Amino acid sequence: MRLTLILLLLVPSLALGQSLEHKIADADSLVSAYMESKNLPGMAISVYLGDGMIWSKGFGYADVESQTPVNPSLSKFRIGSVSKTLTAAAMGVLIQKEQLNPDDVVQTYVPEFPEKEYPITVRQVAGHIAGIRHYRGSEFMSQKLYATVDEGLTIFQDDPLLFEPGTQYSYSSYGWNLISAVIEGASGEAFLPYMKEEVFDPLNMNNTVPEWSNKKISNLVSFYDQENREADFVDNSYKWAGGGFVGTTEDLIRFGVAMFDYDYLNEEAQEELMYPQQTSDGESTNYGMGWRVWPNNGLYWVGHSGGSVGGSTMFLLNKQHRMVIAYTINRSSAGFEGLHFKLADIFLDD
């Protein structure tokens, strides 16, 4: 009788394990086919579901010449605009400490930022509806080292707004240069140390760091262009907050998991960051403050994509299923083709 009971208790667990094993095999085949079709040099992918990491794997090479394999726990990729989502967490910390009100005008925290024809608020800047411009010409390929956040403001701070704030959505990474200055003004600390103290260290994101071009970074992958040649040198110090961090997929999973509960960021702070804004005509932007919204198959996903020189990144989470998907590629403009949602379908399929 006792043996029978033990077997009955083991069968559901065994069946669940077999089911997950099959799903992982399907996911592995999907990503392998994607890698082959795109002829990608390397890729890391990590998936969390329920209460644990269910799959984390490296594909291809962190460096093609040396044939160094990708390690999702160690290989640091350029995460591009996913940096905005990490920076938004610092905003959330300041909001819940009541040191930052996103509806204040930016000069409340950055008095030296030139006033424009219209006032602009922190919320508008963080939601890309302030009218601040994006890259021009070859700025995306900047090779200049910017030592401070204030230096990064000089690129665009004297330019006129593109439109009256609130009337349109126009994506601007430079807006997040201004957000990093807001964080400095609100916290009284330099941006990069604040990110380490209030975001990376508390969430055990030990492999997420700013990409200083003049410093050695351990386990940094090599970067490739669309032809799989070594990508041109760039210095991303001009845009730490908007696209200047490097990190691992497993660190991004840690970050995402921290958003499921309210121990790190309380419910009010998360709502401020994730709830999509509207333009003055009532149209949703599908973007909060550093978080994009993706409805898909009846599910509500939030996160961000990232494109950089030699890097393509996707990070998204679904709170209903406690699912986080993060993948990074060491090539420019890889094109995701909905891979993340295909993976979600595999793992969420009953």
User: Tokens at residue 319, please?
Assistant: 């709170």
Please tell me the predicted confidence (pLDDT) of residue 6. Answer: 27
Reduced 3-state DSSP string for 192-226: HHHHHHHHHCCCCCCCCEECCCCCCCCCECCCECC
Which pLDDT score, from 0 to 100, does residue 18 have? 63
Q: What class has domain 20-348? A: alpha beta
Cα angle for residues 270, 272, 275 (degrees, 5° grid): 90
pLDDT, residue 243, reads 98
Per-residue pLDDT reduced to its tens digit, 171-208: 999 999 999 999 999 999 999 999 999 999 999 999 99
Instruction: Give backbone dihedrals phi and psi of 99, rounded to 5 degrees, phi first.
Output: -100, -10
Contact criterion met (CB below 8 Å) for 122 and 100: yes
The per-residue pLDDT of the chain, averaged, comes to 94
pLDDT score at 254 = 98
* Side-chain half-sphere CA neighbours of 346 within 13 A: 22
What pLDDT tens digit does each residue of the chain (350 aa) get?
Answer: 333 222 223 333 334 466 999 999 999 999 999 999 999 999 999 999 999 999 999 999 999 999 999 999 999 999 999 999 999 999 999 999 999 999 999 999 999 999 999 999 999 999 999 999 999 999 999 999 999 999 999 999 999 999 999 999 999 999 999 999 999 999 999 999 999 999 999 999 999 999 999 999 999 999 999 999 999 999 999 999 999 999 999 999 999 999 999 999 999 999 999 999 999 999 999 999 999 999 999 999 999 999 999 999 999 999 999 999 999 999 999 999 999 999 999 999 98
Q: DSSP 3-state assignment of 187?
A: helix
Q: How far apart (Å, rounded) are the C-alpha atoms in residues 133 and 239?
A: 14
DSSP string computed for 237-256: GGGHHHH-EEE-HHHHHHHH
Encoded amino acid at 110, one letter: V
Q: What per-residue confidence (pLDDT) applies to 350?
A: 83
Residues 40-89: tens digit of each pLDDT: 999 999 999 999 999 999 999 999 999 999 999 999 999 999 999 999 99
Q: Determine the pLDDT at residue 17.
A: 61
